[in-house]
């Protein structure tokens, strides 16, 4: 049962109540969405969420809430949903096609938010404090998480809470003012053409399995090699290449359209002009084209439907292990393409257009600019003016 709180003069404090040793503020607040007004009894706690222990502190917190109300900065009317419930609603929204996020991004967020839901437990949205966020990051860092992953985890949490702000459920983010952790960008190794050829050759070789049987390194060696070479010759991301169809390859104009269905990272189609290697490779692939499929990489389990391959990840694991190239990833093919373009003297703006960077080549210059400098220096050292040409005396 609630009872009034008395001040030092034994007078009841307006709007302040106590029950079972806990203090409550009684306020009339307005729902920011519907405009409906309701009387609420708000449990009083300090900035860390700890219940205030004395009447004097309760009076101070009451005044703070009254100030928030006058500034239209009060929490929403009624009990806010638990984080897990609201995160599920958020995921339903972004996976329903109403949002702008791709399925792969939604899957990643779903995985991260499951960890946040486990950590935050039954906390309601307006109960989440900075200390809860910090403890989650501390726990993840102790488990070996990188600072970059920690920053991505915070972004996933912030996405949910931003939507709660938009819905008028909470007024501020507990991550407000939280600085991202410092990260160190690991320099990606450049795999030369000879190394890519070694990887492709390994796909056609044999290995001994756990039963002692001699089996092919990869059951779909030809398609895997075609995929690796295409990535290296056009700079497509791995999922962008899986989405390519034969109508995307225009041999008359000598251009390859990537993302004609809007399935690129930035949902914008782009055109890669043929280079000699790309043209030759596409013509070679065309000779082996499956007659019942439009896909450059049709699914071997497509049956009566024309389905594209979903992944070559398992083949990559087997092939790179056999080739003794454990550090190789599909993205290294894109890195190879950009590096070769830079060292061939192609301008950064053109390279950016080929690989789908919308910054006009700024990122290319920042990440790969050193290759251009090294290449020019190497070319300068190779300059040969022929015999008989000696420097003139000053």
**Residue-range domain boundaries for the chain:** 3-70, 83-166, 193-380
User: At 96, is the pLDDT very low, low, confident or very high (cuts 50, 70, 90)?
Assistant: confident
Which pLDDT score, from 0 to 100, does residue 56 have? 86
Same topology between domain 83-166 and domain 193-380: no
Rounded Cα distance between 58 and 392, Å, is 92
Model pLDDT for residues 219-241, shown as the tens digit of each residue: 999 999 999 999 999 999 999 99
Model pLDDT for residues 246-297, shown as the tens digit of each residue: 999 999 999 999 998 877 777 789 999 999 999 999 999 999 998 889 999 9
Work out the number of other CB atoms within 10 angstroms of the CB of residue 9: 5
Which pLDDT score, from 0 to 100, does residue 99 have? 60
Model pLDDT for residues 141-166, shown as the tens digit of each residue: 999 888 989 999 999 999 999 998 88
What would the mean pLDDT of 346-357 be, rounded to a whole number? 95
**Which residues is 24 bridged to in the sheet?**
17, 43
What would the mean pLDDT of 25-34 be, rounded to a whole number? 64
DSSP string, 51-86: BP-SHHHHHHHHHHHHHHHHTT-PPPSSPPPBHHHH
Work out the number of other CB atoms within 10 angstroms of the CB of residue 349: 15
Helix (H, G, I), strand (E, B) or coil at 123: coil
Contacts of 271 (CB under 8 A, 6+ apart): 255, 256, 257, 258, 353, 354
Contacts of 185 (CB under 8 A, 6+ apart): none
Which pLDDT score, from 0 to 100, does residue 321 have? 95
Rounded Cα distance between 186 and 241, Å, is 25
User: At 388, is the pLDDT very low, low, confident or very high (cuts 50, 70, 90)?
Assistant: low
Rounded Cα distance between 117 and 232, Å, is 40
Q: Give buried/exposed letters for 150-170 (b at 16+ CB in 10 A, else e).
A: bbebbebbbbbbebbeebebb
Which pLDDT score, from 0 to 100, does residue 41 have? 79
Fold held by 83-166: DNA polymerase; domain 1 (1.10.150)
Which pLDDT score, from 0 to 100, does residue 220 have? 92
Residue 238's alpha-carbon distances to 85, 161, 241, 310, 312, in angstroms, are: 34, 32, 5, 10, 9
Which runs of E-coded beta strand occur in 130-254?
A: 206-208, 214-216, 249-250
Residue 379's alpha-carbon distances to 17, 23, 117, 373, in angstroms, are: 82, 78, 57, 10
Q: Is the pLDDT at 33 greater than 70, yes or no?
A: no
User: What is the DSSP code (8-state) at residue 19?
Assistant: E
In terms of pLDDT, which residue wins out, 93 or 236? 236
Across the chain, mean pLDDT equals 86
Model pLDDT for residues 41-92, shown as the tens digit of each residue: 778 887 667 788 888 888 888 888 777 655 545 444 456 889 999 999 999 9
Element (H, E) at 258: strand 255-258
Angle at 100 between CA 94 and CA 106, to 5 degrees: 45
What would the mean pLDDT of 23-35 be, rounded to a whole number? 67
Rounded Cα distance between 195 and 192, Å, is 5
Contacts of 156 (CB under 8 A, 6+ apart): 108, 109, 112, 113, 116
193-380 carries CATH number 1.10.443.10: yes
Rounded Cα distance between 44 and 281, Å, is 70
Residue 31's alpha-carbon distances to 16, 76, 105, 123, 161, in angstroms, are: 21, 6, 33, 21, 18
């Amino acid at each position: 049962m609630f009872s009034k709180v008395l001040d030092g003069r034994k007078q009841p404090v307006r709007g302040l109540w106590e029950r079972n040793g806990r203090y409550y503020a009684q306020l009339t607040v307005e729902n920011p969405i519907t405009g409906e007004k309701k009387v609420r009894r708000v449990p009083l706690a300090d900035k860390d969420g700890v219940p205030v222990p004395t009447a004097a502190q309760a009076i101070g917190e009451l005044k703070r809430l009254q100030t928030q109300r006058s500034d239209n900065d009060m929490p929403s009317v009624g009990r806010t949903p638990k984080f897990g419930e609201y995160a599920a609603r958020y995921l339903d929204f972004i996976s329903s096609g109403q949002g702008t996020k791709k399925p792969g991004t939604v899957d990643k967020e779903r995985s991260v938010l499951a960890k946040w839901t486990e950590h935050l437990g039954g906390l309601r949205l307006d109960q989440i404090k900075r200390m809860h966020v910090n403890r989650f990051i501390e726990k993840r860092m102790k488990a070996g998480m990188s600072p970059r992953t920690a920053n991505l985890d915070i972004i996933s949490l912030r996405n949910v809470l931003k939507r709660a702000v938009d819905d008028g459920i909470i007024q501020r983010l507990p991550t407000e003012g939280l600085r991202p952790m410092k990260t160190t960008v690991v320099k990606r190794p450049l795999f030369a053409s000879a190394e890519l050829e070694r990887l492709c050759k390994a796909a056609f070789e044999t290995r001994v399995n756990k039963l002692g049987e001699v089996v092919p390194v990869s059951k779909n060696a030809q398609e895997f090699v075609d995929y690796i070479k295409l990535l290296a010759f056009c700079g497509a991301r791995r999922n962008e290449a899986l989405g390519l169809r034969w109508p995307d390859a225009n041999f008359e104009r000598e251009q390859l359209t990537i993302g004609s269905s809007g399935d690129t990272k930035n949902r914008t189609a782009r055109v890669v002009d043929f280079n000699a290697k790309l043209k030759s490779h596409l013509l070679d692939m065309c000779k082996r084209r499956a007659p019942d499929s439009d896909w450059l990489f049709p699914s071997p389990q497509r049956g009566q439907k024309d389905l594209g391959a979903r992944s070559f990840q398992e083949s990559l694991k087997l092939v790179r292990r056999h080739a003794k190239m454990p550090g190789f990833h599909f993205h290294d093919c894109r890195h190879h393409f950009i590096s070769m373009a830079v060292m061939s003297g192609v301008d950064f703006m053109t390279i950016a257009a080929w690989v789908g960077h919308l910054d006009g080549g700024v990122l290319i210059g920042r990440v790969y600019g050193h290759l251009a400098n090294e290449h020019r220096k190497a070319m300068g050292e190779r300059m040969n003016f022929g015999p008989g040409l000696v420097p003139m005396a000053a």
